Amino acid sequence: MSFPTYSSYEELLSAIDAGDSGREILNPATGERIGFADTDSVEDLNAAVTRAREAFASFATTTHEQRSAMLNAAADAIEANAEPLAQLLSREQGKPLNGPNARFEVGACSSWLRATASFELEPEVIVDDGETYSTMTYRPLGVVGAIGPWNWPMMITVWQVAPALRMGNTVVVKPSEYTPLSVKALVHLIATAVPEGVLNYVSGDRELGAALSKHPDVDKLMFTGSTSTGQKIIEASAPTYKRLTLELGGNDAGIVLDDVDPAAIAEGLFWGAFINTGQTCAALKRLYVPESIYDEVVNALAEFAKNVPMGEGLDENNVLGPLQNKAQYDIVADLVQKAKDSGARVVIGGDPEEGQKGYFYPTTLVADIDPDNALVVEEQFGPALPIVRYSTVDEAIDLANSLDVGLGSSVWSADRERALSVAERLRAGTTWINNHGAVDPRIPFGGSGHSGYGVEFGIEGLKGLGQPHVITG
Ligand code: NAD
């Protein structure tokens, strides 16, 4: 397969017809218009599902080797266009080009595609005892609907699309209405590596997402987004028995144990909480620190945080950017205000500039905050970290486990055995030790409780995009 190469993000926008009509998309750092999004109707969605259904019959008969080759070809197309993709992503999402941001996200797209191409899913022999021989294989499911959020729009689309294609399904992608152009450009490039009709794109708001989630000819939904939307999707998809993978909101706890060197963990804690300016599902969103080293940890974190540059994404020096949209900015500002009103101590930040053109909220650390404060128990999804004091490890574990959500969590300690004994007691899909949020295409990732169900990544992730088929005899 051959793929186009674009020398600039403008050329890429023109190739995806985002240049002159549709819904205006603005750069959240500057308010400048960067392009126009399609406003697809339910009829357009129906046509996309029909194309996917028609393409399925033949695509389902391709082999794992053929589909792996297609994923590698898609990775080639992304790598050849990495800079225009990153330039577009930075302008639309707001995240800086550098740091763990736009260029990093585009790089993750190709590496996830290659990793997903490399996994080997062998038929499983379940019983072979001389009397019974039973095997289980995974067949393609059919048409997969992929509905995504605006925080890591390209990478999450790949998380949904790569395993779906690898397993022989066809796909209809419906990105967030906040970041449709980055995803359209990505889908345009991946589509060059697969047969016509296999990968489809529709653009619209929550109503279009709702139509996709109840569409009778869609077999499975890969959904990443908020917990409340996840519940609506469960309800809407129930009458047609769709399979679901739900990656929903989280409010990840991190527990620091009293044996750490505060200065040594400050950088890891910072990026665990503030990666993508806090707009990350599995970011550290509430930090529990023991009384004995509380001030040292808070001060070390503040010392690191105050030197990390925030600003417009196209400035190569910045590694933190704006909130992606006004609604998210208001949520963060409101939660920090509630914390201030309750008497919590703002260590740094908490004072956004009035009248600025972008949705910049400064890096904020809030100390001496009650464990039941709204900034602690609600998902802030932005650059404001509450730091709660605790006196016993049992108390910290109880506080960490006290919410309905459970996506990620972390334990920070110089003693691995001690950290493991705490990690085993945390209710979450993943617990990291001395790290928070490091995902890996080989390692399953998913939520517990209201953070969703099903896992992505690795062999387990592939199985979620297949229909198990047992043959016994
Ligand atoms: P959101 O739920 O508002 O929107 C996500 C997507 O769902 C969008 O494409 C939207 O158009 C669509 N949608 C909205 N209503 C719908 C409906 N009724 N039916 C079908 N689709 C509908 O979420 P968001 O604000 O874009 O994303 C932020 C949230 O996503 C945070 O809570 C974050 O924690 C979560 N998230 C989770 C993960 C994870 O892997 N668990 C990853 C990233 C983000």
**SS3 label, residue 285:** strand
Q: How far apart (Å, rounded) are the C-alpha atoms in residues 70 and 194?
A: 6
Q: How far apart (Å, rounded) are the C-alpha atoms in residues 473 and 49?
A: 37
The C-alpha angle 88, 91, 97, rounded to 5 degrees, equals 80
* Cα 254 to Cα 151, 237, 413, distances in angstroms: 21, 34, 11
Centroid of ligand 1 to alpha carbon of 248 (angstroms): 7
Pocket test for ligand 1, best of 147, 223, 252, 330 (most atoms within 8 A of CB): 147
Indicate whether residue 224 lines ligand 1 (CB < 6 A).
yes
Catalytic residue among 92, 105, 177, 281: 281
109 flagged as catalytic = no
Query: What count of Cα atoms within 13 Å lies in the side-chain half-sphere of residue 126?
Result: 11
Centroid of ligand 1 to alpha carbon of 332 (angstroms): 17
- If one counts every other C-beta atom within 10 angstroms of the C-beta of residue 61, the result is 10
Which tokens is 367 given?
A: 């100390």
Indicate whether residue 213 lines ligand 1 (CB < 6 A).
yes
Can you tell me which atom of ligand 1 is nearest the CA of 247? 41
Query: What count of Cα atoms within 13 Å lies in the side-chain half-sphere of residue 305?
Result: 28
Task: Find out whether 77 and 189 touch, Cβ atoms under 8 Å.
Answer: yes
CATH 3.40.605.10 domain residues, the chain? 9-248+451-472
- If one counts every other C-beta atom within 10 angstroms of the C-beta of residue 77, the result is 23
Give me the pLDDT at residue 1, please: 66
The alpha carbons of the chain give a radius of gyration, in whole angstroms, of 23
Cα-Cα-Cα-Cα dihedral sign, residues 296, 297, 300, 305: negative
Q: How far apart (Å, rounded) are the C-alpha atoms in residues 335 and 392?
A: 27
Indicate whether residue 146 lines ligand 1 (CB < 6 A).
no
| Closest residue to atom 15 of ligand 1, CA basis | 206
Indicate whether residue 222 lines ligand 1 (CB < 6 A).
no
- Closest to 385 in 3D by CA, of 393, 394, 376: 376
Indicate whether residue 226 lines ligand 1 (CB < 6 A).
yes
Task: Find out whether 253 and 289 touch, Cβ atoms under 8 Å.
Answer: no
Give me the pLDDT at residue 20, please: 84
CATH 3.40.309.10 domain residues, the chain? 252-440
Can you tell me which atom of ligand 1 is nearest the CA of 233? 19
**Tens of each residue's pLDDT in the chain, 473 residues:** 689 999 999 999 999 999 788 999 999 999 999 999 999 999 999 999 999 999 999 999 999 999 999 999 999 999 999 999 999 999 999 999 999 999 999 999 999 999 999 999 999 999 999 999 999 999 999 999 999 999 999 999 999 999 999 999 999 999 999 999 999 999 999 999 999 999 999 999 999 999 999 999 999 999 999 999 999 999 999 999 999 999 999 999 999 999 999 999 999 999 999 999 999 999 999 999 999 999 999 999 999 999 999 999 999 999 999 999 999 999 999 999 999 999 999 999 999 998 898 999 999 999 999 999 999 999 999 999 999 999 999 999 999 999 999 999 999 999 999 999 999 999 999 999 999 999 999 999 999 999 999 999 999 999 999 999 999 99
Cβ contacts of 342 within 8 Å, gap of 6 or more: 369, 370, 373
**Length of the chain counted residue by residue:** 473
- Closest to 365 in 3D by CA, of 294, 454, 281: 294
Pocket test for ligand 1, best of 229, 405, 456 (most atoms within 8 A of CB): 229
Indicate whether residue 428 lines ligand 1 (CB < 6 A).
no
Which tokens is 228 given?
A: 């409340």
Q: Does domain 9-248+451-472 have CATH number 3.40.718.10?
A: no
Can you tell me which atom of ligand 1 is nearest the CA of 229? 2
Q: Which amino acid is at 78?
A: I
Task: Find out whether 283 and 430 touch, Cβ atoms under 8 Å.
Answer: no
Beta strands at 220-224 and 448-449: parallel, antiparallel or unpaired: unpaired
Give me the pLDDT at residue 302, please: 98
Centroid of ligand 1 to alpha carbon of 441 (angstroms): 21
Cβ contacts of 385 within 8 Å, gap of 6 or more: 273, 274, 278, 284, 285, 286, 287, 301, 364, 365, 366
Indicate whether residue 381 lines ligand 1 (CB < 6 A).
yes
Task: For domain 252-440, give the CATH number.
Answer: 3.40.309.10
pTM of the model: 0.97
Q: How far apart are the first and last CA of the chain?
A: 42
Q: Which amino acid is at 204?
A: G
Give me the pLDDT at residue 19, please: 79
Indicate whether residue 250 lines ligand 1 (CB < 6 A).
yes
Indicate whether residue 177 lines ligand 1 (CB < 6 A).
yes
Q: How far apart (Å, rounded) are the C-alpha atoms in residues 183 and 204?
A: 12
Catalytic residue among 92, 105, 177, 247: 247
Indicate whether residue 312 lines ligand 1 (CB < 6 A).
no
Which tokens is 270 given?
A: 């910072």
Pocket test for ligand 1, best of 201, 203, 245, 281 (most atoms within 8 A of CB): 281
Q: Which residues pair with 133 in a beta bridge?
A: 128
Centroid of ligand 1 to alpha carbon of 148 (angstroms): 6
Query: What count of Cα atoms within 13 Å lies in the side-chain half-sphere of residue 134?
Result: 9
* Cα 125 to Cα 221, 222, 473, distances in angstroms: 28, 28, 12
Q: How far apart (Å, rounded) are the C-alpha atoms in residues 95 and 100?
A: 9
Beta strands at 252-256 and 408-412: parallel, antiparallel or unpaired: parallel
Give me the pLDDT at residue 222, please: 98
Indicate whether residue 281 lines ligand 1 (CB < 6 A).
yes
Centroid of ligand 1 to alpha carbon of 226 (angstroms): 4
Give me the pLDDT at residue 22, please: 93
- Measured in whole angstroms, the distance separating CA 428 from the mean position of its chain's CA atoms is 16
